[in-house]
């Protein structure tokens, strides 16, 4: 199935920078009507103005997605402004890079709030509007929810325990809702990026003292990930591991899980040996 988003209202979370911003730019080129959300009102307003200058229809709905009132205000604001909601693109997220032994309950709860509870509650609020989008369509249109999770949601990566837990929960919720929402005509899609070179990625990490080696400089450009996310929406792809590293872990989990486990443990032995030597 191919889906056209021309004239469709798409709510993009995490649109102020990184992958979300690039998704919004690409959807605008496809003729979508963009509702943009994140906390940084200035960045969102700038993006909305930029998209409008290029002929798109776009508006900023700033808010903190961990706040129930903000979530409610954002979704009802989008429907009041554009009359409907056709696609929810859940892209907002945070990451903590550091070992569990030196982490805290506060970090675990924060990561789960942003990466799991916030998008799940956005889905709860959006679902009735997406159902209406399906029921009122005359042209076979199918509304969609696109969940940008991570390959961390398919395999636990050392030094990223909270992030992996939040993304595993999000991936499982996505799979359950994909089945449940069939009866509402809503497609629920999953995208699993690997390590991505986003805007100031390391600056926005809740912690940045993880010990496993991650090649941030060699990570996948966020433009490529945004292309893959939009392609998933347009082609209705249920699950997509984006980039070689992500695909490798995704495929390895199915074909040779002991090899992937050995690879992950080797990363930890490497830094443990380094520390013993120093
Ligand atoms: N970068 C990677 O290596 C990587 C890898 C795999 C998966 N991913 C996933 O891809 C998604 C986007 O990542 P990214 O690299 O583009 O990250 P990013 O550049 O840090 O952007 C994160 C976005 O989420 C928004 N956000 C964070 N907390 C929020 C909150 N409480 N309420 C509302 N918005 C909030 C941020 O906006 P404000 O700060 O303005 O609120 C920002 O727009 C995330 O879900 C991430 O987990 C990223």
74 touches ligand 1 (CB under 6 Å) = no
Domains and CATH numbers, the chain: 9-277 (3.40.50.720)
Cα distances from 273 to residues 83, 201, 202, 266, in angstroms, run 60, 28, 25, 10
Asked if 31 and 54 count as a contact pair (C-beta separation under 8 A), the reply is no
Residue 218: its pLDDT value, please? 83
- CA of 198, closest atom in ligand 1: 15
Which pLDDT belongs to residue 149?
Answer: 98
**CA-to-CA distance for 112 and 165, rounded, in angstroms?**
8
Query: What is d(CA 254, CA 100) in angstroms, rounded to the nearest whole number?
Result: 26
Closest ligand 1 atom, residue 219 Cα: 3
Residue of 208, 187, 160, 131 lying closest to 2 (CA atoms): 187
CA angle at 186 for the pair 16 and 174, rounded to the nearest 5°: 65
> Checking phi first, is residue 37 left (phi over 0); if not, alpha (psi -120 to 50) or beta?
beta
Q: Quote the tokens at residue 162.
A: 């909270």
Task: Report the relative pairing of strands 57-60 and 187-193 from DSSP bridges.
Answer: unpaired
Which atom in ligand 1 lies closest to the alpha carbon of residue 200?
Answer: 19
Helix axes 161-180, 105-112, angle to 10 degrees: 30
Minimum CA distance residue for ligand 1 atom 1:
196
Residue corresponding to tokens 């102020």: 16
pLDDT by residue for the chain (278 residues), tens only, comes to 899 999 999 999 999 999 999 999 999 999 999 999 999 999 999 999 999 999 999 999 999 999 999 999 999 999 999 999 999 999 999 999 999 999 999 999 999 999 999 999 999 999 999 999 999 999 999 999 999 999 999 999 999 999 999 999 999 999 999 999 999 999 999 999 999 988 777 789 999 999 999 888 889 999 999 999 999 999 999 999 999 999 999 999 999 999 999 999 999 999 999 888 86
Q: Check if 64 has its Cβ closer than 6 Å to any atom of ligand 1.
A: yes
Alpha-carbon separation of residue 187 from 12, 115, 143, 220, 239 (angstroms): 16, 20, 6, 27, 11
| Minimal-distance CA residue to ligand 1 atom 21 | 18
CA–CA distance, 59 with 166 (Å, rounded to integer)? 29
Place of tokens 């709905």: 61
Q: Can you say whether the dihedral through the CA atoms of 239, 244, 250, 256 is positive or negative?
A: positive
């Amino acid at each position: 199935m191919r889906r056209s988003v021309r004239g469709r209202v798409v709510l993009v979370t995490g649109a102020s920078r990184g992958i979300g911003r690039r998704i919004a730019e690409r959807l605008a080129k496809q003729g979508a009507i963009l509702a943009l959300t994140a906390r940084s009102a200035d960045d969102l307003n700038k993006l909305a103005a930029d998209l409008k200058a290029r002929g798109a229809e776009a508006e900023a709905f700033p808010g903190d997605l961990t706040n129930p009132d903000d979530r409610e205000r954002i979704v009802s604001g989008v429907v009041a402004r554009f009359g409907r909601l056709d696609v929810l693109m859940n892209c907002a997220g945070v990451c903590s890079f550091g070992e569990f032994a030196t982490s805290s309950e506060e970090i675990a709860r924060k990561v789960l709030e942003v990466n799991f509870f916030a998008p799940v509650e956005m889905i709860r609020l959006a679902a009735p509007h997406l159902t209406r989008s399906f029921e009122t369509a005359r042209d076979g249109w199918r509304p969609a929810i696109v969940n940008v999770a991570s390959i961390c949601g398919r395999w636990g990566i050392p030094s990223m325990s909270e992030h992996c837990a939040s993304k595993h929960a999000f991936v499982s919720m996505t799979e359950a809702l994909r089945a449940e929402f069939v009866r509402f005509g809503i497609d629920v899609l999953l995208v699993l990026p690997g390590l991505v070179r986003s805007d100031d990625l390391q600056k926005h990490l809740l912690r940045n003292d993880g010990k496993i080696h991650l090649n941030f400089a060699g990570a996948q450009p966020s433009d490529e990930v945004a292309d893959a996310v939009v392609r998933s929406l347009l082609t209705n792809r249920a699950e997509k591991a984006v980039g070689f590293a992500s695909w490798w872990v995704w495929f390895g989990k199915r074909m040779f899980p002991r090899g992937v486990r050995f690879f992950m443990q080797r990363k930890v032995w490497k830094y443990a040996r380094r520390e013993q030597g120093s």
